[in-house]
Amino acid sequence: MRTSVIAAAAGTLALGLGLTACGAGSGDGSDGDRLIVGATPTPAGEVLTYIQENLAKKAGLDLEITEFTDYVTPNTALQEGSLDANLYQHAPYLKDFNASKKTDLVPVTEVYLPPMGVYAKKGTRDIAKLRAGATVAVPNDTTNEGRALQLLASKGVIGLKKGVGTTATPEDITSNPKKLTIKPLDPAQLPRSLDDLDAAVINNNYALDAGLSPKKDAILLESPKDNPYNNVLAVKKGDEDDPRVRKLAKLLTSPEVKRFIEDEYKGSVLPVEGTADTEN
pTM: 0.82
pLDDT(13) > 60: no
Bridge-partner residues for 109, per DSSP?
A: 233
117-221 shares the fold of 2-114+228-271: yes
Q: Which residues contact 206 (CB under 8 A, 6 or more apart)?
A: 187, 188, 190, 191
pLDDT of residue 217: 95
Contact 117, 201 (CB under 8 A): yes
Contact 231, 44 (CB under 8 A): yes
Q: Which residues contact 185 (CB under 8 A, 6 or more apart)?
A: 137, 138, 139, 140, 193, 200
Map residue 226 onto helix, strand or coil.
coil
Residue range 223-229: average pLDDT?
A: 90
- Distance in angstroms (rounded) separating the CA atoms of residues 242 and 146: 34
pLDDT of residue 25: 56
Assign domain 117-221 to its CATH superfamily: Periplasmic binding protein-like II (3.40.190.10)
pLDDT of residue 131: 94
Please report which confidence band the pLDDT of residue 102 belongs to, taking 50, 70 and 90 as the band edges. Answer: very high
Q: Tell me whether the omega of the peptide bond preceding residue 43 falls within 30 degrees of 0, making it cis.
A: yes
- For the chain, the domains span 2-114+228-271, 117-221
pLDDT(16) > 70: no
Identify the H or E element spanning 73. Answer: helix 73-80
Average pLDDT score, the chain: 89
Bridge-partner residues for 194, per DSSP?
A: none
Q: Which residues contact 5 (CB under 8 A, 6 or more apart)?
A: 14, 15, 17, 18, 19, 66, 67, 68, 69, 73
pLDDT of residue 33: 74
Q: Burial, 42: exposed, middle or buried (Cβ in 10 Å; 0-12, 13-18, 19+)?
A: buried
**Dihedral of the alpha carbons of 16, 17, 19, 23, in degrees to the nearest 10:** 70
Residue type, 54: N
Where does 2-114+228-271 sit in CATH, by number? 3.40.190.10
